[in-house]
Amino acid sequence: MKSEKVLDAKGLACPMPIVRTKKAMDQLESGQILEIHTTDKGSTKDIPAWADAANHEILKTEQDGEVFKFWVKKA
């Protein structure tokens, strides 16, 4: 899946993946896609909950070994 920006949040503990995700999303325009990579297991619940609260759309999620990947479309 094509994304405009990739955020590497691997190795960061909660709440930093969400903080970095919000900052990265603020730099995108509506309709653009942010790809997020994190190793924090809490992100599997935190990022979708944050995206829902901010009216962004989770397009895809997957796990690649220890890395959780999310593709989020900006509202």
Q: Which domains can be identified in the chain, with CATH numbers?
A: 5-73 (3.30.110.40)
Contact status, residue 9 vs residue 36, Cβ threshold 8 Å: yes
Q: List all residues 6 or more positions away from 43 whose beta carbon is below 8 Å from its beta carbon.
A: 9, 14, 17, 18, 36, 68, 70
What pTM does this model have? 0.95
Q: In angstroms, rounded to a whole number, what is the distance separating the alpha carbons of residues 66 and 59?
A: 20
Average pLDDT rounded to a whole number, residues 47-68: 97
Contact status, residue 69 vs residue 36, Cβ threshold 8 Å: yes
Task: Tell me the two tokens of residue 2.
Answer: 């094509």
Q: Is the pLDDT of residue 1 over 90?
A: no
Of the listed 6, 13, 14, 75, which one is catalytic? 14
Can 14 be counted among the known catalytic residues?
Answer: yes
State residue 69's pLDDT score.
Answer: 98
pLDDT (tens digit per residue) in 12-53: 999 999 999 999 999 999 999 999 999 999 999 999 999 999
